[in-house]
Amino acid sequence: MQKKFRLISILLSVLVLSFVLTSCSSGNTGNNVSSTTLKKPGSLTVSNISSFSLQDQVTFTSIEGIINRQSPNLYLIYNSSTNVQQGSAFWLTHAVNLPYSTVDPMSVFIKFKSVLKGLIIWDPNMVVDTQNVAVTLAGLKDAIPCSPQMAQTLEAAPYNFKVLVDLRTHHFTNRFNTYKWLVNYIHPEIKKLSFPVWIGDPDGSNSGDDPSLRDWSTQHYGIDFEADANTDTNVLNLIFGLFPKDSPVYGYIFYQDAQYKKTNLPILEGISVGDISKAGDYLVPTDGFHNLSVFSQLKPVKTVLPMWNSATLTPNKSKTYVLFATTDGDNMAYDQGFFLLHQLQNPNFGKVPLGISVSVNLARLAPTIYQYYLQHSGSNDIYIAAPSGAGYAYPSMMPNLSQYLASSKKALAYAGLKSVWILDNEYESSPSQATVNQYGRVLDPAGIFADYDNFKGGFLTPNPPAISFATNNVPVVHDVYGLGQLNTVNSIEATAKLATSGPGFVFVGLDAWNLNSTDVQQMMAKLGPNYVAVTPDQFVGLIKGAQKAHEISSGLTK
């Protein structure tokens, strides 16, 4: 695959100086440091913890963040079989530009004992929430959160750690009371907290034991929590109330409730992101992301900017132009793992035009991974900002949309992304004209992409016209969801028939978990010669050309 890169002479480190980090509007993005710190290492210590139980992996990942607080010192390998949590070994050799040596996992406790102050033991009788409390306290106390079994090992020689807090003695039985106790306990240090981390029970089994992201939490003094949006409103109000508006919420909403297991519809996702949005915050989906405490501190050897050229193009009136763009790029764990395996390493990647949604946070939090993708992509691979800007939020529900969009503008500029994708209203309807106008006015993007069609074939409220315009004459296009090849081909043909004259335009939100470049090739073959696949920037340029020729509705829709 021939690759064309736009090299830039100014390193991202220069951009950092002019970019106000979007992690938290109050500025407490992890700049707090431990009173005991490590000097920059001669080499990175690498340890493979795959053979340990998930609960012990929580322990290792949590101390990783403390050990990496000042500089990258420890990197953990996970041989995960899930479709998201993959790639830790790959990225060690392709995106961690540091020398390293490997050690046995248990030796990590001895090697870095100078920065670890003791043990925080969670309660197996309420493991999800006390595990979260233990990790939170570990970050604040530079301690080791662990199970009672691991505590027995670490109390004995040669480790000889003392128990600082044993959560079993509190006999917690109520989720809200557990987190209320935590907030009261840490009250003298409450301003030290940087952000909430929604994590704890990813498979809905009430067993906890999610090791991912724990290092990011302890490194930056996060507060870990779990909540069911249907039943734990008091928990959400408690946690979100600790932080100013426009704060990031890391992790993810775990929607593996009974309804999801029965219908495969993530109803709780919409409700939970709605709660975050109403609090004036935004979600940074990072569940499943490994070694963020390392990647966030690495600098690329060289940098390139994402390609984008939406100059006006003259469309062929007899053609229908189709844009395929992958969904769910806001999920940073997808960006780290599944995108690599399912998209980039697909043999046909780069052979067909493809829009790639990506988290704007990847450029800041994992710049070497972001640069790897840009440097292994070609002129057919065009990146767009994933929903809905600085993070996953529903803009119509936000009381501080202007503040959020100001953060989004900085985040898009830092990542070099020229267009944005918006989800809104808990999937029930498209963003309003007032919302897209505000995006157009504040962000002034080259294009706005909107919606994920739901899994029933349409929104509860019908979409606006397929193409409209926002303030600054920004094209706004609404997707047809591509769930499978046959479904997508039928949807494209049905949408194309709606164009009564002039060229046709169809934007397909491609199911990122099941469809890739090979599927695009095969679908285009089925559609025939009257359909032309184009990249996102070409799609926008063709819309501008059709607008100029008065072949589609021209100008701002009020």
Residues 217 and 101 both lie in one domain? yes
Q: 83 with 195, same domain?
A: yes
Q: Of 257, 280, 295, at which residue does a domain stop?
A: 295
Paired tokens of 82? 């899930």
pLDDT for the residue numbered 257: 64
User: Among the ranges 251-255, 257-261, 321-325, 491-495, which has the highest mean pLDDT value?
Assistant: 321-325
Lowest mean pLDDT among 134-138, 207-211, 302-306, 537-541: 207-211
480 pLDDT more than 90: no
Going by C-beta distance under 8 Å and a sequence separation of 6 or more, which residues neighbour residue 214?
A: 58, 61, 62, 64, 65, 135, 199, 224
Which secondary-structure segment (H or E) carries 166?
strand 163-166
The string of pLDDT tens digits covering residues 437-470 is 999 999 999 999 999 874 444 444 545 677 899 9
Q: What is the pLDDT of residue 222?
A: 98
Is there a single domain that holds both residue 353 and residue 232? no
* Residue 426: inside a domain: yes
Spatial CA neighbour of 321 closest among 529, 465, 554, 555: 529
User: Is residue 111 scored above 50 in pLDDT?
Assistant: yes
Question: CA 48 → CA 62, 68, 79, distances in Å?
Answer: 15, 17, 8
Crossing angle of helices 127-141/175-185, nearest 10°?
10
> Could you read off the pLDDT of 277-293 as tens digits, one per residue?
999 999 999 988 999 99
**Average pLDDT rounded to a whole number, residues 363-376:** 96
pLDDT band at residue 265 under the 50/70/90 scheme:
low
Give residue 429's region: left, alpha or beta (phi > 0; psi -120 to 50): beta
What distance in Å separates the CA atoms of residue 1 and residue 160, rounded to the nearest whole number? Answer: 55
How confident is the model at residue 269, as a pLDDT? 87
| Any domain includes 2 | no
Distance (Å, whole) CA 282 – CA 300 = 27
**Does residue 247 form part of some domain?**
yes
- 259 and 351 in a single domain? The answer is no
pLDDT of 284: 97
CATH number of the domain that residue 502 is part of: 3.20.20.490
How many domains, in total, are found in the chain? 2
Residue 34 has pLDDT above 80, yes or no: no
Per DSSP (E only), the strands in 70-116 are 74-77, 100-102
Count Cβ atoms within 10 A of the Cβ of residue 319 and give its class: 0-12 exposed, 13-18 middle, 19 or more buried.
Answer: middle
Residue 310 lies in a domain: no
- Asked whether residue 102 falls in the same domain as residue 202, the answer is yes
What per-residue confidence (pLDDT) applies to 457? 41
**Averaged pLDDT of the chain:** 87
- Whether residue 415 is contained in a domain is answered as yes
- Looking at the predicted structure, is the pLDDT value of residue 409 above 90? yes
> Does residue 251 fall inside a structural domain?
yes
Q: Are residues 359 and 274 in the same domain?
A: no
- Domain boundary at 258, 280, 295, which? 295
Measured distance CA(465)–CA(301) in Å, rounded: 45
- Rounded to 10°, the helix 148-155/54-67 angle is 60
pLDDT tens string 303-316: 999 999 999 999 99
Rounded to 10°, the helix 54-67/127-141 angle is 20
Do 281 and 354 lie in one domain? The reply is no
Domain assignment of residue 31, yes or no: no
Same-domain status, 531 and 389: yes
Is there a single domain that holds both residue 473 and residue 513? yes
- Check residue 26 and give its pLDDT: 33
Please check whether residue 116 lies inside any domain of the structure.
Answer: yes
Q: What is the pLDDT of residues 50-79, one digit of tens each?
A: 999 999 999 999 999 999 999 999 999 987
Question: Residue 41 pLDDT > 90, yes or no?
Answer: no
128 secondary structure, DSSP code = H
Full domain range(s) for residue 121: 37-295
420: left (phi over 0), alpha (psi -120 to 50) or beta: beta
- Over pLDDT 70: what percentage of the chain? 84
Categorize the per-residue pLDDT at 533 as very low, low, confident or very high, splitting at 50, 70 and 90. very high
